Amino acid sequence: MHDVSLQGGGSHASTRSNLSMFEFIAMCASLAAVAAMSIDILLPALPAIGTAFGVVDENSRQLVILVFAVTFAVSQLFYGPLSDRFGRKPLMATGLLLYLAGSIAAIFTKDFTSLLAMRVVQGAGAAALQVVTMAMVRDCFSGQAMGRVLTFVFTTFMIVPIVAPTIGQSFELLAGWKSIFIFNAVAGGLILMWMTTRLSETLAQKDRRSLSFGSLWSAFKEICTNRITAGYAVAGTMTLTSLFAYIVSVQQVYGELYALGTLFPLAFGGSSVGVAIAALFSARIVRKLGMRPVAHGALLIFTASGLTLLALSFAGTPPFWVAFTLLSICMMSFGVLQGNFNAIALEPLGHIAGIAAALFGVVTTSIGTVLGGVVGQAYNGTVTPLAFAFGMGGLLATCAVFWTERGRMFRA
């Protein structure tokens, strides 16, 4: 990279990826944002999809989100070892081709089950992009430099939740919900062309690992027995549970409980603006304070805001501005802590970055998705289930970090 201050561990990302710092971050963000776009763009269209296929139970509409998220989470386990063996670029191309196939086939579905099946294909493709992008960043950076790069990536792709619901609602109103999948297919195709023509392989031949059972088992044991990786995996799972609970139920909370209707994308995007700003700000202060003080401070704010909303919800439905403010603070805190959590967890495992990123992603995302789905299915016309996810999720994450760091919170 041209910015030498970001080159932790002596790795030169410009040499490995053949991209400038700006293009490297932009490409990583675009690849990682495919999953976010596949979820957030459909949120305003869930009622229309339910009506089109005669889905009577409103909570059942959440399956359009949940099946994608669960497949996305579980599939990561396969891509990590494969990318450590065959390289990052071939697995990215495979993932994008799968995503394209699922997006195009979804346009022609005739029933709800077929649509869910195509969401599975989409999720399997998007999973490759998530885990391989994380491994690619670890190929090129380490330490605080990796944390800052991941934060910049996270900030960039947080633009997606700001605009995706509005894009989805616009497509749905103008041309029906199937046009959203046309948009997904076009976007995936453009990213595929960009990646294949510009990106160089970042995993050197000498660093590639065997697919033998012994090699995989050795890497698995190393990951599970590393206190830092395991502890931050638990903490990341708890915070991701809150995120997925928010994703699957926010349309009902904002759109129906608070009766925002077509104004829902504005409220959802408003929270996402705060997330992007907070994440960008954290990238600057990480350089001065370090990853742990920044991440731990954000976690405490996340937990306090969630517990406050939970306490208020027991007394009745809080006013919209109160719920929106507290949820936005939770999401802003998430934008700061999650990228740093990932960097701290993967820092000791640079020599097995692919499978480490995969296992970390599988554990945190799959469990977080399932638990978040349980919260979503518990929606009962109040904000209490969602507030519970944020408050208790933050509290459990704080306990996990406290144990992992042996009580030494906020150390640089």
- In three-state form (DSSP H/G/I as H, E/B as E, the rest C), the secondary structure along the chain is CCCHHHCHHHCCHHHHHCCCHHHHHHHHHHHHHHHHHHHHCCHHHHHHHHHHCCCCCHHHHHHHHHHHHHHHHHHHHHHHHHHHHHCHHHHHHHHHHHHHHHHHHHCCCCCHHHHHHHHHHHHHHHHHHHHHHHHHHHHHCCHHHHHHHHHHHHHHHCHHHHHHHHHHHHHHHHHCCHHHHHHHHHHHHHHHHHHHHHCCCCCCHHHCCCCCHHHHHHHHHHHHHCHHHHHHHHHHHHHHHHHHHHHHHHHHHHHHHCCCHHHHHHHHHHHHHHHHHHHHHHHHHHHHHCHHHHHHHHHHHHHHHHHHHHHHHHCCCCCHHHHHHHHHHHHHHHHHHHHHHHHHHHHHHHHHHHHHHHHHHHHHHHHHHHHHHHHHHCCCCCCHHHHHHHHHHHHHHHHHHHHHCCCCCCCC
User: Is residue 280 one of the residues assigned to a domain?
Assistant: yes
Q: What is the mean pLDDT of residues 296-306?
A: 95
Predicted pLDDT at 103 = 96
Residue 411 lies in a domain: no
pLDDT score at 354 = 63
User: C-alpha dihedral over 124, 127, 129, 130, to 10 degrees?
Assistant: 170
The pLDDT value given to residue 8: 42
Structure confidence at residue 342 (pLDDT): 80
Q: What is the pTM of this model?
A: 0.71
Are 39 and 168 in contact by the 8 Å Cβ rule? The answer is no
Provide the pLDDT confidence category of residue 143 given band limits of 50, 70 and 90. low
Question: Count of domains in the chain?
Answer: 1
The larger pLDDT score, comparing residue 404 to residue 290, is at 404
- CB count within 10 Å of CB 252 equals 21
| Band (158; pLDDT cuts 50, 70, 90) | low
Asked if the model's pLDDT at residue 9 lies above 80, the reply is: no
Question: What are the CA-CA distances from residue 296 to residues 109, 330, 369, 393, 397 (Å)?
Answer: 45, 14, 23, 14, 10
Residue 7's pLDDT band (cuts 50, 70, 90): very low
Residue 257 located in a structural domain: yes
pLDDT at 10: 38
Flag whether 409 is in a domain: no
pLDDT of residue 410: 78
Looking at residue 4, what is its pLDDT?
A: 35
Q: Does residue 6 fall inside a structural domain?
A: no
Is 267 among the domain residues? yes
pLDDT score of 5: 40
84 has pLDDT over 50? yes
Q: In the prediction, which pLDDT does 180 show? A: 95
Measured CA to CA, the distance from residue 403 to residue 397 in angstroms comes to 10
Residue 38 to residue 173: CA distance in whole angstroms: 18
Look up the domain containing 267 and give its range.
19-404
The residue ranking higher by pLDDT, 65 or 56, is 65
pLDDT exceeds cutoff 60 at 3: no
Q: Which of 246-260, 277-291, 386-400 has the highest mean pLDDT?
A: 386-400
| Structure token pair of residue 113 | 């089950």
Q: Is residue 5 part of a domain?
A: no
pLDDT tens digits along 191-223: 999 999 988 887 877 777 666 666 667 767 777
pLDDT: which is higher, 179 or 164 = 179
Which 3 state secondary structure label does DSSP give 297? helix
Query: Quick one: pLDDT at residue 213?
Result: 65
The domain spanning residue 180 has which CATH number? 1.20.1250.20
Query: Is 9 inside any structural domain?
Result: no
